[in-house]
Amino acid sequence: MPMPGNGTTKQLPGCEACFARVNRGLCGDCQPGSPCAVASYKTADREYKVGQDLFSLGEPCDSIFNLLEGWVILYNILDDGRRQILHFALPGAVLGFHPGGGAMMTYGAQALTDIVVSTIPHKALQPIVSQQPEFGLRLAWLVARDCTLAYDRLTSIGRHSARERVAHLLLKLFVRCRAQWPGSHIEEMNLPLTQEDIGDATGLTFVHVNRVLRDLRKDRILEFHYRRLRILDPDKLVDVAGLDPQLVMSWIR
């Protein structure tokens, strides 16, 4: 668990303006005006700069982190120093939840952008759920959602070609981001990834990722340049990614 000083504290907002409620977070099911069981247990929201770890591989973690703003990568480091990105967490995600509570973490979590998180001690979860049972269901739903996304990407890494893996990853991130822009039909977005990040997430070398992105641009399917993603042909991208359109819609829901 990050020690004081690893992030800066931020004034707690009122319940009506809390990002954990308005940004599909842990309090997303709270009704306006209802008592907030979480408020008396969570600490002040904490800010982390890009590159800072919320927790590292092998560290004990006795709190959960509700990501309110920014992007986080979950990662593992192999003995030879190679990195595998396991998952990209977007606002609303819950990080650090472990059924053992305080057990050693089997992966690390690092800020991909500047982020804001809300922190709740593991020991507070039982009393919160006792007071507000829907909180427990919400927590289970958020964890299950990210597991489903991770399983889907694991399948892609294990069975897709390099072209399919890159298309699958970029399409998934684009759709997940756009789900947080209600009513938006923009086919372009800032994507805070480097080609190295894409390689670490898909199991490909930098050279291979560069070649795939060049081919996708040449085929007028998408452009990814200087961390900006532009979808040129959504239908072709879905085909290349080897995805059922209904599955794409399920990510939004």
CATH number of the domain residue 180 falls in: 1.10.10.10
State both tokens at 99: 């059924």
Q: Domain check: are 110 and 209 in the same one?
A: no
Range from 77-91, 99-113, 173-187, 227-241 carrying the lowest mean pLDDT: 173-187
Do 181 and 90 fall into the same domain? no
pLDDT at 17: 47
pLDDT top residue among 222 and 103: 222
Share above pLDDT 70 across residues of the chain, in percent, rounded to a whole number = 79
Residue 155 located in a structural domain:
no
Residue with tokens 């990080």, as numbered in its chain: 95
CB within 8 Å of 222: residues ≥ 6 apart = 167, 170, 216, 229, 230, 231, 232, 233, 237
**pLDDT above 90: percentage of residues in the chain:** 46
**13/113 same-domain check:** yes
Rounded Cα–Cα distance for residues 101 and 196 (Å) = 33
pLDDT in tens, 169-199: 999 999 888 877 655 556 788 999 999 999 9
pLDDT (0 to 100) of residue 42: 78
- Mean pLDDT (the chain) is 83
Query: pLDDT class for 100, splitting at 50, 70, 90?
Result: low
For residue 108, being part of any structural domain is answered with: yes
Span 243-253, average pLDDT: 64
Query: Are 246 and 166 part of one and the same domain?
Result: yes
* pLDDT for 1: 36
User: What is the pLDDT confidence band of residue 5, given thresholds at 50, 70 and 90?
Assistant: very low
The per-residue pLDDT for 250 is 59
Amino acid occupying residue 103: A
- Residue of higher predicted confidence among 87 and 26: 87
pLDDT of 212 higher than 50:
yes
CATH number, domain at 26? 2.60.120.10
Q: Are residues 67 and 169 in the same domain?
A: no
Q: For residue 33, what pLDDT is reported?
A: 61
Residue 43 and residue 85 in one domain: yes
Per-residue pLDDT, 81: 92
Across residues 65-84, what is the average pLDDT?
94
Specify whether 165 is located in the same domain as 244: yes
Question: What range defines the domain where residue 80 resides?
Answer: 8-133
Q: What is the DSSP string of 93-153?
A: -EES--TTSSPBPSSEEEESS-EEEEEEEGGGHHHHHHH-HHHHHHHHHHHHHHHHHHHHH
Same domain, 45 and 127: yes
Among 133, 149, 181, the domain-final residue is: 133
Within a domain: 93: yes
Domain-located, residue 199: yes
Q: What is the DSSP letter of 160?
A: S
Position 139 in a domain: no
Mean pLDDT of 10-37: 57
Residue 198 lies in a domain: yes
* Last residue in a domain, options 98, 133, 168: 133
Does the pLDDT of residue 4 top 50, yes or no? no
